[in-house]
Amino acid sequence: MKNAVIIGAGPAGITAAIYLIRAGIQTTVIYKDMGALGKTKAIDNYYGFPETISGPELFERGLAQAKRLGATIIQDEVVGISWEDRMTVLTKSDRYPGDVIFFATGAARIAPKIDGLKSLEGRGVSYCAVCDAFFYRNRDVAVIGNGAYALHEAEVLSNTSKSVTIYTLGKTPEFTLPDQSQIRIDTRNILRLNGDESLESVELDDGTIVPMDGLFVAVGVAGSADFAKKVGAEVEGVRIVTDENCQTTLEGLYAIGDCNGGLLQIAKAVHDGAKAAVHAIKFLRNS
């Protein structure tokens, strides 16, 4: 049986799941939390709720509907995506191959405000370890972030780099380093990045200057653009390039809802989910 894996359980991901499961596609939805709906008190402009509805209630209703129809719902954090014999979604604790994959992870993450971060993007500052680790072979690199995603990126880098330090920017690490790990953890804040042509060093809040060749941003939870880059789908800034069916530049890989930009509203997320699922169903039937 053909299968679909959806990252995200907001309006986009759940709508795609509803269409796919009802067309007989085995569907798994992996989500970390309520996404944007978790921050929404009252929704006044979505069809069918004259009395308004809260974001968390709409989220729970969507999840219950997908479950009732037969979708497998997994609560876990996705930290990567890779090509094996099929495209495979990697979570903190498992891996999920899919014939079609949907990114429905909501609006892009915001990079931390560190002096020099923006201007050194592509010249020492990277957002994708799998894509760029090669350029930092036998060099000193750092990852910023304090969660599972940061650890995942650091582990990718530790295969080829001379040294890897995770800077948690004052936050407590939400991961445990495996025994024998060579990765270092530093909880100090980074004040600024130094370098003209490319990154040369990072300056910490106590004045220490640490020479550095590469800095990888992995703050919070990985977003769709991070995943897209890892498998080679085209990205413009934080926006994933999609066609009129929300398909990325890779066949069978879709980006739906807030993560592909445009109108950041529930109605548009639902529309994307339905449209992409219908396209994926045809694709799976013909493949």
Ligand X SMILES: Cc1cc2nc3c(=O)[nH]c(=O)nc-3n(C[C@H](O)[C@H](O)[C@H](O)COP(=O)(O)OP(=O)(O)OC[C@H]3O[C@@H](n4cnc5c(N)ncnc54)[C@H](O)[C@@H]3O)c2cc1C
Least CB distance to ligand X at residue 71 (A): 13
Residue among 77 and 132 whose Cβ is closer to ligand X: 77
Least CB distance to ligand X at residue 54 (A): 10
Least CB distance to ligand X at residue 286 (A): 27
Least CB distance to ligand X at residue 260 (A): 8
Residues contacting 2, CB < 8 A, separation 6+: 25, 26, 99, 100, 284, 287
Residue among 30 and 120 whose Cβ is closer to ligand X: 30
Residue among 43 and 69 whose Cβ is closer to ligand X: 43
Binding site for ligand X (CB under 6 A): 7-13, 30-33, 35-37, 39-40, 43-46, 77-78, 104-106, 221-222, 257-259, 264-267, 269
Least CB distance to ligand X at residue 219 (A): 12
Residue pair 109/258 in contact by the 8 Å Cβ criterion: no
Residue among 48 and 207 whose Cβ is closer to ligand X: 48
Residue among 213 and 258 whose Cβ is closer to ligand X: 258
Residue among 63 and 193 whose Cβ is closer to ligand X: 63
Residue among 36 and 143 whose Cβ is closer to ligand X: 36
Least CB distance to ligand X at residue 11 (A): 4
The DSSP line for the chain is: --EEEEE--SHHHHHHHHHHHHTT-EEEEEESS-GGGGG-S-B-SSTT-TT-B-HHHHHHHHHHHHHHHT-EEEE--EEEEEESSSEEEEESS-EEEESEEEE---SPPPPP--BTTTTTBTTTEES-HHHHGGGGTTSEEEEE-SSHHHHHHHHHHHTT-SEEEEE-TTSPPSS-PPTT---EEE-PPEEEEE-SSS--EEEETTS-EEE-SEEEE--SS--HHHHHHHHT--EETTEEP--TTSB-SSTTEEE-GGGG-S--SHHHHHHHHHHHHHHHHHHHHH-
Least CB distance to ligand X at residue 245 (A): 16
